[in-house]
């Protein structure tokens, strides 16, 4: 069964469940992406910083050659890294990512973070004291270059990731092409209700990354369960005879968000696509939402002190 889509504010259809490629075992990337396409994923989430776009591209190329999918059936998201915020660099960096992925356009291309770093071949350029070197490029100027990507036909949609409400508003105030998508950490411990309300006013679709929390790192708040082991999530999983992960994905989809998930096991990949075959009650959604304590896993410590750090300087 095809994965349902959500319509972005430019009428582009985005599959609501995407297959993530972050922290994927390097030697397994091509195989895993091929398996994901085989089981039904059509939304593939990539980024320059992940360092594996060449391997992802091999998988996409093979599946197109095999006739499993056509390019138009896929929805490929890419992300511009912090060291390449200079507007003069954006077109070339995007084109390089497309070349690695063996495609001619992105369906969705995001500014990965609002925090610009010095132009460098290193992802985190450091000074002699080991501190990340920041750039003075303002992300609103980067946004202008992102709009050029659409005009050149390199991207169908553009958006941002890890921006707070104030930062989104600054982009909207100057945008000729409005952001179509915001990708942020979102799960019951960080439900992003205020951000969702803001985005709904501008018809910006939210994509949740880390929708399962962060299963491989313990949360540092004493007494806090890992989300997949939270008694409420386990209870609902038993009630609906679904894996706890699927309850957390359903929570996002039922709120109108898309979600990025990743698995190294083919059966789990397939299970995660079962998200539309059941529905949580309104009371259950309310209970899950009540787990929120603004608990954030991804703090972007390497940008600590940056004037555009989205969480240190968040006013909303």
Short-list 140, 148, 135, 259, CA closest to 208 = 259
Q: Say if CB 147 and CB 98 are below 8 A apart.
A: no
Long-range (24+ apart) CB contacts under 8 A made by 26-31 are: 26/51, 26/52, 26/55, 28/264, 29/55, 29/56, 29/59, 30/55, 30/56, 30/58, 30/59, 30/62, 31/59
Radius of gyration of the chain (CA): 19
306 carries a ligand binding annotation: no
50 is catalytic: yes
For residue 245, is it left (φ>0), alpha (ψ between -120 and 50) or beta?
Answer: alpha
Q: Give the span between the Cα atoms of 316 and 304, in whole angstroms.
A: 19
DSSP structure class, residue 25: -
Q: Which of 50, 139, 189, 209 is catalytic?
A: 50
DSSP structure class, residue 22: T
Q: Which residue ranges are tagged as binding site?
A: 112
Q: Which residue ranges are tagged as binding site for substrate?
A: 112
Catalytic residues: 50
């Amino acid at each position: 069964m095809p994965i349902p889509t959500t319509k972005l504010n430019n009428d582009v259809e985005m599959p609501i469940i995407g297959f993530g490629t972050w922290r994927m075992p390097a030697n397994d990337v091509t195989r895993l992406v091929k398996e994901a396409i085989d089981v039904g994923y059509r939304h593939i989430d990539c980024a320059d910083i992940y360092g594996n776009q060449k391997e992802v591209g091999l998988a996409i190329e093979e599946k197109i050659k095999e006739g499993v999918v056509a390019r138009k059936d896929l929805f490929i998201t890419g992300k511009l890294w912090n060291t390449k915020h200079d507007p003069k660099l954006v077109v070339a960096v995007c084109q390089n990512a497309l070349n690695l992925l063996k495609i001619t356009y992105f369906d969705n291309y995001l500014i990965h973070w609002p925090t610009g770093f010095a132009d460098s071949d290193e992802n985190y350029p450091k000074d002699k004291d080991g501190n990340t070197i920041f750039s003075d490029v303002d992300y609103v100027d980067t946004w202008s270059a992102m709009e050029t990507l659409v005009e050149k036909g390199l991207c169908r949609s553009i958006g941002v990731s890890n921006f707070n409400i104030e930062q989104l508003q600054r982009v909207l105030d100057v945008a000729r092409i409005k952001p179509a998508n915001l990708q942020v950490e979102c799960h019951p411990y960080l439900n992003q209700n205020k951000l969702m309300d803001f985005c709904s006013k501008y018809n910006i679709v939210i994509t949740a990354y880390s929708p399962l929390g962060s299963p491989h790192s313990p949360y540092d708040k004493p007494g806090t369960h890992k989300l997949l082991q939270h008694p409420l999530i386990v209870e609902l999983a038993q009630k609906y005879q679904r894996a706890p992960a699927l309850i957390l994905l359903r929570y996002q989809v039922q709120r109108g968000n898309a979600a990025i998930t990743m698995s190294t096991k083919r059966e789990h990949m397939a299970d995660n696509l079962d998200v539309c075959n059941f529905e949580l009650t309104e009371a259950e959604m309310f209970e899950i939402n009540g787990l929120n304590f603004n608990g954030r896993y991804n703090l972007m410590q390497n940008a600590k002190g940056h004037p555009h750090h989205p969480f240190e300087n968040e006013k909303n």
